[in-house]
Structure formats: C-alpha cells, structure tokens
C-alpha cells in the first residue's frame, strides 16, 4: 500500500512537471510575455528594460529552472496587470469556486444516484426509460444553456413578477452570512448539478446492473434476503465504487475553476479571474490558474486511486 | 459415415522412410516469467509451460500429443509454428534451425508449417468474409490476387467440403463444424508440409468431431501432409495417430508407436490415462480397473523435484523425488518406445494395486481428471 | 446402465450435415441493422441530424429562400424598435432579431455550419490520433503501452477550459484553434477505448492465426483488429460529436472560439447572456433549442447504435 502510494505520488509529480513544462513553453517560448507586460503603448527601450527586470533575457532553460524554482517555493508569480501576486488571486477565488463545486457535488449525488438505482432495479421498465431520457437530455445540455434558462425563469421572471427570491449574481462568503451564501449559490449549484447528475445516473445504473448480476448478489437473493436488503446493503456498496471514483475526479476538476458557471453568475472564483486574465492578456494569472487546476486534478486522481484500493479491498473481503 | 480413420489407412499408402524426420525438437524450453511491479518489473517466478522436450515428427506421419489441459501442449504448438520464441533449445525443420531465424527469414517456413486452432469461433475474424479469411495466406505471401485468388479459394472450399458459393459469408453464418473446415482450408491453402492441429475437434459436437477427423485423414492422404495432432483425449488420438507422445507438466513422459503405447504402457501416468479410457472390448474393460492418482496436478510454476509425476504416482519411490528420469527405452522395448520413468510398468502389472513407498497426499476419488469424452461408439454418426 | 446413457438415435438420419445447415444466416451487421430499424427514436434522431446537415450545407440557398442574411442589419422597423431593442418573431423575421437587428433564423442556419464543422472535424481528428495511439499501445503492450498510456493520463490531467483559455490567450481565438484544442483533449478517450479493445482482442486466436500465416504487425492491425473496432468506434464517434459541439459552443460562449460577427450558436447565446435574455426570450430560446436538439439527437442516435451493436443488449433482455 505504501509503495503504491509512493508510486502514485511520484507519477503525480511527473505529471505536474510535464504540465509546468508545457505551460512554460506556451507562455514563455511560443508567446512574447514582455510585450504583454508592456501593454499597448510600448517602446523598444521599455521592452528591453522589462526583459531585464523579468529575467526574460536569459536562456530558456535557465528561465524554466528559475520558474520551476519559484513554483517549488509555492510562488506562482505576479500579475502583469495589477502587480498582485498570483497566489493571492487564487486564494481569493478559492472560496467561491470551492463552495460552488462542493455544493453542486452534493446536489448531483442526491439527484443522480437515486435515479440510477431506480432505473437499475427495473431495467427496461418505463421508469428506466425515463431515467435514460433524463440522462441523455442532461448530457446533451450545455451548462450555460441550463444556467441561462435558470436565470431567465427563476431570477428574471420571478423578480419581474415581484418575487426576488434569487439574486442574478455575486458571491457572499459563508462566514459573512451563511443564508445569503446559499441563496446566491442555489442557481449556480443547480446549473452544475443538473448536467452532472445525468452522467451519475447513467454510471450508477450501469454499475448497479453489473453488480446485481454477480454471483454473490444471486447468493444473497437465494438466501432469501429481502430485495431491499440485497440492493442497498450488498449491491449499492460495490456499485458505488466507480461513482466515487468519478466524483473525486470531477471535484478535482471543478476546484480548478468552474469557468462557465462563474462567468454566468458573476461569481468571483478562480475560473472568473482566469477568464478575465485571458481578456486582459495577463499571462501569469492564466498560467498560475492552469497549474493550480492541474494540481487539483492530479491530487484528486491520487486520492481516488487510494480510495479505490481501500474500497475495493473491503468489498472483496466482505 | 463411420470413423474409418485407422492409422493404417491414413498413412499406409505413403512411403515413409523411418529416419525421415521433418521436425526435430531438442531440449525445448518455454518459460513465462511472472512479473510484478509497475515501474520496474521484477520477475517473481516463471511458469514452466514447456520444460525440456525432445520430440521428432516424421514426414507423412500423424504424431499424437496427449496430456491434461495446462500441461503445455498449446505452448509447444506455438513454439513449433513460431508464434512464440523458445526460451531454450532447438527446433529444426528439414534440418534448418528455426529458433535463430529473424522475421524475414522465417517467412518461407511460415508457408510450410500451418496451424489449425482449437476454437472454431475464436480463430476466425468475425468481421471478415470467409473468402477473405481463406484467401489470407495467398494475400500475405503474394501467391495470387483478384479472380485467381477467388478461384483458388473456392477450390479449397470444395476440397474441405464447403459450398464455394458461401464465399462471401461471414463466419457467424456457419456452424462450428463448418467453421473448423474454414480453418482447415486456410491451413491448407499454401500446401504446407506440416499442420499442427491444436485440439481441432475438442470444441465440436461429438457427432461432428468424426467428420472433421475424417476430413483431416482424407487430406493427409491426398496431399501427403504431416500432422502434429494435439488432444487431451486419448481415445481421439488413438485412432488418428501413428505415434503418440504423452505430456505431463511440460515434459514428455512416454512416446511410442500408437499400438505399442496402448498395448504396453510403461509410464504410470500413461497407464492411469489408459485406465480411464472406455474400452470397447468388454472383456478387457472388465480386467482394467481405474488407477487412482494422488492429489491434484501441481502448479507449473513450481514443478516437483525429480520426476515431476512423483507426488501423484502410485509407483513412486525415494529416487523419484530426487532424480529426473531420462526418456529412454525401458524393459527392452523397441528403440522408439521411450519412457521417462525409474520404475516403468511391466506388461500385465495391475497399476490399481500399486502403492508408492513414499508418503503421498490422500488419493483423489478416481484417477485422472482427463475428460474421457464418450466412447467412440457414442461418437459415431448414424 | 450404460444402455440408458446412450442417447437413442432417431431412425430418420438427422445427419450432422443437415443439423449444420440449420444455422441461421445472420451477420453482426445485419443484426445491428435490424435492431436499429425497429428503434423509432434512433431513426427520428437520424432524420433530424440529416436535416441539420442539409441545412448547414445549403445554408446560402436556405437563407436566399427566406430572404435573410446572417450578417446584414435590418435598419427598418422590423429590425430594432425605436429604443434599439430587438424585435420578436414576426412575418419579416420569423425567429426575431438580435441586438443589432440581424435575423436570428439566418444566424442559426449559418451557426449550424460552425457547430457541425467543429463537431465532425474534431471527432475525425480525435479518431485518427486515438486509433493510432490506442492500436500501438494495445498491440505492442509492455513498454510502448506503459509509455502511451501514461501519456494519455498526462493529457487527461490538463484542465480543459483553462488550458483552452491559455492557448487562446497566446494564439487568439479562431475556428482552427477551437478544433485543435478540442481534438487535443478528446483523442485520449478514443485512445483508451481502442487500447482496451485491442488488448482483449490481441490474445484471440484469429490474431494468432494471422500471425502464424506470416502476417506482419501492420497488416494484422489493419485487416484483423481495425474491422472489429468499427462497431464501438461508430458508437463513440456518434457520442463524441455532441460533446465536441458543446465544447465549441462553450468556447464561443466565453469569447474564446470563432470570433463575431461570424454566427455561431455559442456566440448568440453569449449575446443572450449579456443581458438580452431579459428582453428577448427568442434570442435565448431558439439558439438554445438548436444546440440542445442537435446534441440530443446525436446522443439518442449514439445510444440506439450502442444497443444495436452491443451483443449484450440481447442478454439483458433475455435475463429479464
Ligand atoms: N502467454 C502466457 N503467459 C503466461 N503463462 C502462459 C501463457 N501461455 C500459457 N501459459 C501457461 O502455460 C501452461 C501451459 O499452457 P498451455 O500450453 O496452453 O496448455 P495446454 O494447451 O496443454 O492446455 C499453463 O499453465 C498456462 O497457464
Ligand atoms: S519415475 Fe517414479 S514417480 Fe516418476 S513415473 Fe516413474 S515411478 Fe512414478
Ligand atoms: Mg491448449
């Protein structure tokens, strides 16, 4: 187990190294950071000066090593636009992004898993077909379409009819006002959850069907256990293993920025700042966000692999 | 349509000089390493699938190779057809060493050595038409193309008893027996000298087995083929083979002319196998009792020391646990009746009464778990 | 005792040959085709997709017929109200106008071109890369496989939208950048599927048979492995196209895709998100419907194809 962990972490580190190399090449070799920094009113003198200040006059390998050195010390660089450290940009965006991702995850689990179970316990029935349809519609809906519809119906129509229940945008810290926090996040949560719940319903159905066909389930049935006990106690536990795997990876991906939803609902999260940075040509912020997002994905993969190993062992033992 | 494939018919018309060896295996070894670890693979053991086999296949004969499943028959077949490289040892074909050849140099011998596979479903690509499957050898070896290839393929189909008009069908449209005929046609396409038949009928209905065996016998007569005929079933092998070799855990325990082997089995394992074969003659059947073997087949990962049959052998003595017996003639047998046993069975000895002088695990109920198939009488098609 | 065990043979010679002839002649393709023909939903989806494709191909003709263009602004009363607000569906603009008075229907029609071009081209590129990498990884296994599989893992570790953001930050947005970005993130899915299939197929006897005949690796991949991948690949391509269409729309929506004034469904929805959804329901509803119906049609068709091509589809039925 320990060796497995060490190996996974080593591979994770390798992935991060590759990601850092790729973004370095993208931002420092394939593009011209000095010009971006210089802005529109740039003179050749100023640009040379900037190159010296930013260390861009050194060879690429040396630049990369120094870039890597900063990274290893947890320093993601400084924004070109407002000279704030990228670390603090990310830190200020994390609460909104994390609230959005985790809350949505709870919601989509609550929606997706029951639908999947219902469908699996009676395959080819009407409710299975309905569940399949729900899943297909959900998979087909882009998040911004869902978000726009929610905005139109639940914010705009309600508000113009005198029920301003949902605000259109903004983020309120959970420590400032938990109620407002939830009120502001409800629509974004649903936006994210709806499209993701569909995938979870499909996955739960598929893995549940597979598990219910296995020998030990048939044995449990043959032993005369109640159908509910068979499904919930014996079936669900192992059927949820792939769901948990996907959940870990999805949360990891979302923590790196839920660009579309944040943009749509004006939440100042990591994704929003990255998007703004792209439009402002603020390369360090974009780069820092990509690295942080990749880090979350890699981390989530490691956690999931470990969890999977533990769960799988337990399922096999029981 | 009876099983009229006594060996005398199969090969009697062909001149068969005794010493004309087509394929010779010397000390052939195939080990599969068992590794663990993802980043650095470490070998933690090896499957001794084939562990030192000496064997010769003579031109024009059918050599039967028998043994329980997992004893290394298919592996041996793959080594001879060059599908897998040997770990050690030599395989010569008409005197040419095959194991040292590169892919290019091997090509001409691919034409001479063909294989028929056990699984008539798995061995035909389900997504390709039969004509294209049978024509594959012509395509690969640039023998014929276009209409010429089609004509050749349809000829072949006729030879193996398929309707040439089914040229454009898919394998799924044929029954198991017909599919095996497709496999035979493909193996026959390049007029090879040797065909390795790896349990060609084990997957077939009993009633269809005889048809395919008869076909193989007819083709042998017509084209002067040499067969290595693999089976896990002594009764099938008996009726097709000129000579028979018995394998156990990667080694040949005994080999001889078919009648000689069945009449005077020397290796206790052969004896045990024979005692499990239903014998049509009721008098002899009564006199034969099934021999009890001890324990289960050991794992080929850690084969037993000395004679690898010793943990199960009813005649095992102390020396069997330490010294690996040589494959040599026993009890003044003919020169080509070879047995690897320190205490070979005497003619008329009742193995069922034999008791080992070393301690053995509890005997299992009835000896070998070889499927005895049904008796030949049952297999006959009406 | 033994007599009772021998099965009684019928008097009439039911020969093996006759028995063998009784096999029903059905190829996998025929079976799949029969199943899909009975599947009304898939057929409807296919018809809808065909309709969208035709509209996209003949966009100029269709626009000529309806007498509208995707880029010209209607400066008359039918384009914008006096306050500069878009006008809803009318005799002149069937699906209304957008914020500068352009015809929504014409823009939708032209937008279908972008969606389909990106959806299909990106999928095609993903297929090519995925098949090559998956075949190599699955067929050669060992070190090659480890290397390629790890490479796919690394690709999957890049966050899609953020990496797309950064690439666009460097290159600027365009149609081709969209296609490249989407391809880059999508091919590893195909690669994994192909690798898995090849891994399981590699040990099948028909591959050994080909090898024993002297077929080279390339020939085996081309003639023996590839034909068996066609089924799953059709299903996955059909399911990947809508994913890629949504990806393109998302990039457009974020202003990272095809640049306005070119009409794309994502661009139109972005205009809607800018606040227009409050005053012009048609500007939200129709592009959203076009996008969702198209992706839904592909997903329904893909789902139907999966059922039709998956031999296990029957098994599920049989166990119930
Ligand atoms: N490619 C392989 N890798 C590892 N072990 C193998 C491989 N092929 C065969 N073996 C092992 O070698 C032994 C002999 O197998 P095989 O030759 O197929 O036996 P048979 O054909 O007599 O049933 C078995 O224990 C089998 O598990
Ligand atoms: S050598 Fe010994 S153990 Fe081996 S077969 Fe002969 S008697 Fe049995
Ligand atoms: Mg075998």
Asked if the structure places residue C173 within a domain, the reply is yes
Percent of chain A with pLDDT over 90: 5
Which of B277 and B80 is assigned the larger pLDDT? B80
pLDDT computed for residue C317 by the predictor: 35
- Give nearest CA residue, ligand 2 atom 3: B310
A45-49, A59-63, B206-210, C53-57 — most confident range: C53-57
pLDDT at B55 over 90: yes
pLDDT at B252 over 90: yes
Distance CA B106, CA A298 (A): 47
Asked if the structure places residue C24 within a domain, the reply is no
Q: Do C170 and A277 touch (CB under 8 A)?
A: no
Residue-averaged pLDDT of chain C: 80
From C312's Cα to the closest Cα of chain A, the distance in A is 12
Q: Which of B87-91, B286-290, C3-7, C192-196 has the lowest mean pLDDT?
A: C3-7
Which of B57 and A243 is assigned the larger pLDDT? B57
Q: Do C253 and A144 touch (CB under 8 A)?
A: yes
Compute the average pLDDT of residues C303-311: 76
Compute the average pLDDT of residues B168-191: 92
Q: How far is the CA of B202 from the centre of ligand 3 (A)?
A: 10
Predicted confidence band of residue B34 (pLDDT cuts 50, 70, 90):
confident
Q: CATH 1.10.3720.10 region(s) of chain A?
A: 87-311
Are the C-beta atoms of residues C178 and C246 closer than 8 Å to each other? Answer: no
pLDDT at B382 over 50: no
pLDDT at B148 over 90: yes
Compute the average pLDDT of residues B190-196: 95
Render pLDDT for C57-82 as a digit per residue (tens, 0 to 9): 998 888 888 877 777 776 776 666 76
Asked if the structure places residue C25 within a domain, the reply is no
- Give nearest CA residue, ligand 1 atom 7: B32
Predicted confidence band of residue A211 (pLDDT cuts 50, 70, 90):
confident
pLDDT computed for residue C316 by the predictor: 36
Asked if the structure places residue C73 within a domain, the reply is no
Render pLDDT for B63-109 as a digit per residue (tens, 0 to 9): 999 998 889 999 999 999 999 999 999 999 998 999 998 888 888 89
Chain C residues 246-305 within an 8 A CB cutoff of chain A: 246, 249-250, 253-256, 269, 272-273, 277-278, 281, 284, 288, 291-292, 295-296, 298-300, 303
Chain C residues 139-178 within an 8 A CB cutoff of chain B: 146
pLDDT computed for residue B153 by the predictor: 96
Buried residues in A30-62 as b, exposed as e (16+ CB within 10 A): ebbbbebbbeeeeeeeebeebbeebebeeeeee
pLDDT at A42 over 80: no
Render pLDDT for C165-211 as a digit per residue (tens, 0 to 9): 888 878 888 899 999 999 998 898 889 889 988 988 888 889 999 99
Residue-averaged pLDDT of chain A: 82
Question: For residue A132, what are the CA distances in angstroms to A206, B335, C299, C303, C311?
Answer: 11, 73, 11, 10, 19
Atom index in ligand 1 nearest the CA of residue B250 equals 14
Q: How far is the CA of B301 from the centre of ligand 3 (A)?
A: 17
Closest residue in chain B to residue C147, using alpha carbons only:
B39
pLDDT computed for residue B41 by the predictor: 62
Q: How far is the CA of B30 from the centre of ligand 1 (A)?
A: 10
Ligand nearest to the CA of B271: 2
Are the C-beta atoms of residues B374 and B277 closer than 8 Å to each other? Answer: no
Distance CA A213, CA A236 (A): 13
C317 in contact with B, Cβ within 8 Å: no
ipTM of this complex? 0.83
Pocket test for ligand 1, best of B35, B45, B70 (most atoms within 8 A of CB): B70
Which structural domain range is residue C206 located in?
A: 37-66+84-312
Tell me which CATH code domain A87-311 carries.
Answer: 1.10.3720.10
Render pLDDT for B296-314 as a digit per residue (tens, 0 to 9): 888 889 899 999 999 999 8
pLDDT at B288 over 70: no
List of chain A residues whose C-beta atoms are within 8 Å of the C-beta of residue B38: 7
Asked if the structure places residue C78 within a domain, the reply is no
Record the pTM: 0.81
Tokens 């089609």 -> residue: B150
List of chain B residues whose C-beta atoms are within 8 Å of the C-beta of residue C6: 377-378
Predicted confidence band of residue B42 (pLDDT cuts 50, 70, 90):
confident
Enter the tokens of residue C10: 């019928």
The reply to whether omega before B331 is within 30° of 0 (cis) is no
Q: Which of A93-97, C90-94, C165-169 has the lowest mean pLDDT?
A: C90-94
DSSP of chain C, one letter per residue? -HHHHSPPPPSS---HHHHHHTS----HHHHHHHHHHH-HHHHHHHHHHHHHHHHHHTHHHHHHHHT--SS----STTTB-TTSPBP-S-SSSTT-B-TTS-BHHHHHHHHHHHHHHHHHHHHHHHHHHHHHHHHHHHHH-HHHHHHHHHHHHHHHTS-HHHHHHHHHHHH---HHHHHHHHHHHHHHHHHHHHHHHHHHHHTSHHHHHHHHTT--HHHIIIIIIHHHHHHHHHHHHHHHHHHHHHHHHHHHHTT-SSPTTS--HHHHHHHHHTTGGGT-HHHHHHHHHHHHHHHHHHHHHHHHHHHHH-THHHHHHHH-
Enter the tokens of residue A295: 């880090």
Asked if the structure places residue C303 within a domain, the reply is yes
CA C43 to chain centre: 16
pLDDT computed for residue B380 by the predictor: 27
Contacts of C289 (CB under 8 A, 6+ apart): none
Q: Do B170 and C15 touch (CB under 8 A)?
A: no
Asked if the structure places residue C95 within a domain, the reply is yes
Question: Which residue in C169, C250, C299 is closest to A283 by CB distance?
Answer: C169
Q: Do C205 and B81 touch (CB under 8 A)?
A: no
Percent of chain B with pLDDT over 70: 84
Q: Do C20 and B137 touch (CB under 8 A)?
A: no
List of chain C residues whose C-beta atoms are within 8 Å of the C-beta of residue A140: 242, 246, 292, 295-296, 298-299
B81 in contact with C, Cβ within 8 Å: yes
Render pLDDT for C251-300 as a digit per residue (tens, 0 to 9): 988 888 888 888 888 888 888 877 777 777 888 888 889 999 999 999 88
pLDDT computed for residue B131 by the predictor: 93
Q: Which of A155-159, A241-245, B195-199, C234-238 has the lowest mean pLDDT?
A: A155-159
Half-sphere exposure of C199 (CA within 13 A, CB side): 16
Enter the tokens of residue C130: 């995925």
The CATH number of the domain where C289 resides is what? 1.10.3720.10
Asked if the structure places residue C79 within a domain, the reply is no
Are the C-beta atoms of residues C266 and C253 closer than 8 Å to each other? Answer: yes
């Amino acid at each position: 187990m320990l060796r497995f962990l060490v190996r996974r972490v080593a591979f994770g580190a390798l992935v991060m190294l590759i990601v850092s190399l790729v973004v370095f090449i993208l931002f420092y070799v394939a593009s011209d950071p000095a010009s971006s920094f210089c802005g529109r009113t740039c003179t050749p003198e100023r640009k040379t000066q900037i190159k010296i200040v930013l260390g861009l006059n050194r060879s690429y390998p040396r630049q990369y090593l120094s870039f890597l050195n900063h990274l290893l010390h947890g320093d993601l660089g400084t924004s070109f636009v407002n000279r704030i450290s990228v670390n603090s940009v990310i830190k200020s965006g994390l609460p909104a992004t994390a609230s959005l991702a985790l809350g949505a995850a709870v919601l989509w689990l609550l929606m997706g898993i029951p639908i999947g179970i219902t469908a699996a316990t009676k395959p080819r029935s009407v409710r299975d077909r309905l569940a399949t349809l729900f899943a297909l519609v959900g998979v087909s809906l882009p998040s911004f379409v869902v978000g726009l519809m929610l905005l139109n119906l639940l914010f705009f129509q309600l508000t113009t009819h005198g029920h301003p229940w949902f605000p259109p945008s903004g983020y309120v810290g959970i420590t400032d006002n938990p109620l407002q926090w939830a009120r502001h996040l409800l629509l974004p949560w649903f936006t994210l959850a709806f499209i993701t719940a569909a995938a979870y319903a499909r996955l739960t159905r598929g893995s549940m069907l597979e598990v219910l066909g296995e020998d030990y389930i048939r044995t449990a049935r043959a032993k005369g256990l109640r159908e509910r006990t068979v499904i919930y106690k014996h079936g669900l536990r192992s059927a949820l293993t792939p769901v948990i795997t996907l959940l870990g990876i999805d949360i990891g991906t979302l923590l790196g920025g839920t660009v579309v939803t944040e943009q749509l609902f004006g939440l100042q999260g990591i994704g929003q700042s990255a998007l703004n940075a792209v439009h402002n040509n603020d390369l360090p912020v974009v780069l820092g966000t990509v690295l942080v997002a990749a880090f979350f994905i890699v981390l989530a993969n490691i956690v999931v692999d470990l969890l999977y190993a533990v769960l799988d062992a337990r399922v096999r033992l029981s | 349509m009876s099983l009229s494939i006594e060996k005398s018919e199969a090969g009697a018309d062909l001149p068969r000089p005794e010493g004309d060896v087509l394929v010779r295996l010397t000390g052939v070894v195939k080990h599969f390493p068992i590794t663990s670890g993802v980043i650095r693979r470490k070998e933690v053991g090896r499957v001794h699938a084939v562990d030192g086999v000496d064997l010769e296949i003579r031109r024009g004969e059918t050599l039967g190779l028998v043994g329980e499943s997992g004893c290394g028959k298919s592996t041996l077949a793959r080594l001879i057809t060059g599908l897998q490289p040997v770990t050690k040892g030599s395989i010569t074909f008409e005197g040419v060493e095959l194991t040292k050849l590169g892919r290019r140099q091997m090509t001409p011998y691919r034409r001479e050595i063909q294989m028929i596979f056990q699984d008539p479903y798995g061995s035909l690509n389900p997504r390709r038409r039969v004509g294209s499957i049978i024509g594959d050898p012509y395509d690969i070896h640039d023998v014929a193309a276009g209409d010429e290839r089609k004509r050749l393929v349809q000829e072949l189909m006729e030879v193996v008893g398929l309707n040439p008009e089914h040229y454009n069908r898919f394998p799924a449209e044929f029954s198991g027996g017909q599919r095996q005929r497709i496999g035979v046609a493909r193996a026959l396409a390049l007029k090879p000298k040797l065909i390795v038949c790896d349990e060609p009928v084990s997957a077939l209905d009993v009633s269809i087995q005889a048809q395919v065996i008869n076909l193989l016998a007819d083709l042998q007569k017509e084209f002067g083929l040499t067969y290595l005929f693999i089976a896990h079933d002594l009764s099938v092998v008996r009726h097709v083979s000129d000579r028979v070799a018995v394998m156990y855990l990667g080694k040949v325990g005994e080999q001889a002319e078919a009648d000689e082997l069945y009449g005077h089995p020397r290796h206790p394992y052969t004896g045990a196998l024979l005692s499990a074969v239903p014998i049509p003659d009721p008098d002899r059947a009564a006199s034969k009792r099934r021999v009890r073997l001890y324990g289960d087949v050991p794992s080929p990962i850690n084969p037993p020391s000395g004679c690898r049959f010793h943990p199960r052998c009813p005649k095992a003595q102390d020396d069997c646990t330490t010294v690996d017996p040589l494959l040599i003639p026993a009890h003044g047998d003919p020169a080509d009746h070879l047995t690897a046993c320190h205490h070979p069975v005497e003619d008329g000895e009742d193995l069922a009464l034999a008791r080992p002088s070393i301690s053995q695990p509890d005997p299992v109920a009835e000896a070998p778990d070889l499927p005895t198939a049904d008796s030949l009488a049952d297999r006959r098609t009406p | 005792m033994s007599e009772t065990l021998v099965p009684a043979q019928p008097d009439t010679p039911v020969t093996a040959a006759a028995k063998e002839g009784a096999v029903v002649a059905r190829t996998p393709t025929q079976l799949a085709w029969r199943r899909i023909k009975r599947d009304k939903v898939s057929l409807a989806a296919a018809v809808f997709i065909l309709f969208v494709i035709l509209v996209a191909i003949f966009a100029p003709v269709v626009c000529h017929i309806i007498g509208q263009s995707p880029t010209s602004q209607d400066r008359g009363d039918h384009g914008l109200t006096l306050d500069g607000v878009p006008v809803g569906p009318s005799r002149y603009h069937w699906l209304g106008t957008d914020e500068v008075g352009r015809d929504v229907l014409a823009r939708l029609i032209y937008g279908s071109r972008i969606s389909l071009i990106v959806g299909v081209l990106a999928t095609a590129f993903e297929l090519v890369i995925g098949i090559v990498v998956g075949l190599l990884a699955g067929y050669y296994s060992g070190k090659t496989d480890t290397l390629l599989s790890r490479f796919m893992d690394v690709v999957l570790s890049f966050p899609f939208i953020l990496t797309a953001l950064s690439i666009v930050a460097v290159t600027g947005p365009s149609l081709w950048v969209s296609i490249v970005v989407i391809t880059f993130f999508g091919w590893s899915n195909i690669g994994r599927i192909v690798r898995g299939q090849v891994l399981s197929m590699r040990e099948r006897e028909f591959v050994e048979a080909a090898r024993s005949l002297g077929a080279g690796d390339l020939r085996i991949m081309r003639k023996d492995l590839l034909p068996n991948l066609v089924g799953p690949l059709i299903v996955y391509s059909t399911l990947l196209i809508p994913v890629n269409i949504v990806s393109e729309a998302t990039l457009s929506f974020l202003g990272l895709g095809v640049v306005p004034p070119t009409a794309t469904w994502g661009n139109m929805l972005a205009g809607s998100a800018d606040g227009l959804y409050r005053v012009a329901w048609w500007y939200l509803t129709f592009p959203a419907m076009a996008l969702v119906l198209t992706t839904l049609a592909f997903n329904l068709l893909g789902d139907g194809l999966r059922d039709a091509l998956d031999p296990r589809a029957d098994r599920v039925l049989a166990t119930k």
